[in-house]
Amino acid sequence: MHGNLNIWEILWQSGPVVKAVLLILIVCSVASWAIIIQKMKEFKIIDEANQHFLGAFKSNASMGELFQAAVGNQESTMGIMYRKGYEEINRLNEKLGDKKHLAEYLKNQNFVPVERALKQGVSQVQEVLDLRIATLATIGSVAPFIGLFGTVWGIIDAFSGLASGGGSIEAVAPGIAEALVATAVGLAAAIPAVWFYNNFNTRLQRMQNQMDGFGQDFLNLVERSLIVLRKD
């Protein structure tokens, strides 16, 4: 149809400021999608590893056998917690020299040393899980404003052309078109980043709840093991 605008031609002929804005937004979009894909793969691997380790944990395996399962399952967040707790119990056992003394010590301490070790495991896990997620929030917050800047600049260019003597709509249409494209690209970069940021935060909260529950299960396992020791 006569008068159709060629968007690609308009963008190619746009000013350096608008081109710089579009380049920044494209980089932001590529970065956000790279993070999204990487975190989706990471969460999938962790979920599968946790299911595998929980299967071993709910079996009748001994604490030593579970430790070997945790060592062989490096991707499991619960396995990391188990290793931290088990290693702390071993350190205390070596220091006290006797498992019955260990049982009495942990009972008197209300299992606080083991809880601290589990919390260290949670902190180690969270540091890995949180990595780069905040970048999505930054892109989601900043990208629309970068696009808006490109829009404002494009409109200024359009009306500058109008003021210089081009009094028809054809004179301002290219500038307005490139301005609107900048807004659209800004939104295209921001919307997936915000959506997946919220999605990942929900999954992180669910994992946090699962780790809290596993910490209680681990303490229960230790307590049952110590009850057997105290009866011997």
139: Cα within 13 Å, side-chain hemisphere: 32
Residue 192 maps to a domain:
yes
Residue 11 maps to a domain:
no
Residue 149 maps to a domain:
yes
pLDDT tens sequence across 57-102: 888 788 888 999 999 888 999 999 999 999 988 888 888 777 777 7
Residue 217 maps to a domain:
yes
Indicate the pLDDT class of residue 190, thresholds 50, 70 and 90: very high
Indicate the pLDDT class of residue 167, thresholds 50, 70 and 90: low
pTM equals 0.81
The pLDDT of residue 159: 74
Query: Rg of the Cα trace of the chain?
Result: 29
- The parent domain of residue 155 ranges over 22-49+63-68+76-231
Smallest CA-to-CA distance from 126 within 66, 165, 81, 96 is with 81
Residue 189 maps to a domain:
yes
Residue 55 maps to a domain:
no
Residue 10 maps to a domain:
no
Residue 86 maps to a domain:
yes
Smallest CA-to-CA distance from 27 within 182, 139, 138 is with 139
- Tell me the Ramachandran region of residue 59: left when phi exceeds 0, alpha when psi lies from -120 to 50, beta otherwise: beta
Mutual angle of helices 16-57 and 63-71, in 10-degree steps: 150
In the numeric block, which tokens belong to residue 213? Answer: 């529950």
CA distances (Å), 97 to each of 84, 90, 93, in order? 20, 10, 6
The pLDDT of residue 5: 52
pLDDT at 110 over 50: yes
